[in-house]
Amino acid sequence: MTDRSLAMGVDVGGSGIKAAVVNTDTGELLSERLRIPTPNPSTPDRVSAAIGRLVRRLAKGTNLPADVSVGVGLPGVTIGGRLVTAANIDPAWVDYPIADKLSKALKRPVSIVNDADAAGIAEMRFGVGAAKRGVVIFLTLGTGVGSGVFVDGMLVPNTEFGQMEIRGRPAERRSAAASRVRRGLSWKAWAMDLDEHLQRIEDLMWPTLFILGGGVSKNADRFIPRLTTRTPVVAAELRNDAGIVGAAIVAAEGLADAATTFDDLRGSDGPEGPRGD
């Protein structure tokens, strides 16, 4: 194992923050997997302090070399080291320079990535998506719904299928796993809502495969057989560790460096950016 295949992965979720040291060549965890509750309110200050504690604890426990980098999966669109949306986390996250602040505090390189993109990266490399070509859409069904789109294994970053509007609301309000519990729905009733969401996505994207992840995928037999999409649907295999492993891969391989910055998106010619014509 080279140093380039060693990184720490952190997954910031609605209820818990999880972290471990990862061998990114094999997807194996090289440390215990730590989990602490997500602070409430989940402000950037409080969450970064919690991430700092986890990283220091793991680094100490594993004698991690000082230059080993940290990848952090966050529930929003991640561009230029910041979140630019915050549907399921405190709004103070928008524009907070988290990658910069954390790398200064931890004295290590820190990359951030959308949490669903991270879990999808891990699933496409070590899980049910391995070697799957074509357009594969990975969705995590948790507090919200996150998405990762892969074309021949390559990520199209920052898709937000949880936020597409269905029946006048963000789709995740009905199809997230938490929404089944919140509304006290049977698996059957919730599967119908999820089915509608998947059908809307497949009509726009025509994917070759849907992979459904998140904690709820351990109950896949209760809802996947009820789905009526034309696209095949399978459950993710990696479960709890996918977000950690994917965030570590992003850090180890510098994947986030390839992402556009928000300024690039806006262009340098004023708010509208350069015209393409």
Residues of this chain that interact with ligand BGC (CB under 6 A) are 75-76, 85, 87-88, 114-116, 140, 142, 144, 146, 160, 162-163, 172
Q: Give whichever of 76 and 129 is closer to ligand BGC, judged by the CB atom.
A: 76
Q: How far is the CB of 118 from ligand BGC (least distance, A)?
A: 9
Q: How far is the CB of 3 from ligand BGC (least distance, A)?
A: 29
Which residue number is nearest to ligand BGC in terms of Cβ?
Answer: 146
Buried b (16+ CB within 10 A) or exposed e, 133-146: eebbbbbbbbbbbb
Q: Give whichever of 114 and 217 is closer to ligand BGC, judged by the CB atom.
A: 114
Rg of the Cα trace of the chain?
18
Q: Give whichever of 102 and 116 is closer to ligand BGC, judged by the CB atom.
A: 116
Q: Give whichever of 127 and 162 is closer to ligand BGC, judged by the CB atom.
A: 162
Q: How far is the CB of 90 from ligand BGC (least distance, A)?
A: 13
Q: How far is the CB of 249 from ligand BGC (least distance, A)?
A: 17
Q: How do strand 6-12 and strand 70-74 relate by DSSP bridges?
A: parallel
Q: How far is the CB of 114 from ligand BGC (least distance, A)?
A: 5
Alpha helix stretches (DSSP H) within the chain = 44-62, 98-106, 115-126, 172-175, 177-182, 187-205, 220-223, 242-253, 262-266
Angstrom distance (rounded) from CA 41 to CA 174: 24
- Return the amino acid letter for 10: V
Q: What distance separates the 2 farthest-apart alpha carbons in the chain? A: 56
Q: Give whichever of 115 and 253 is closer to ligand BGC, judged by the CB atom.
A: 115
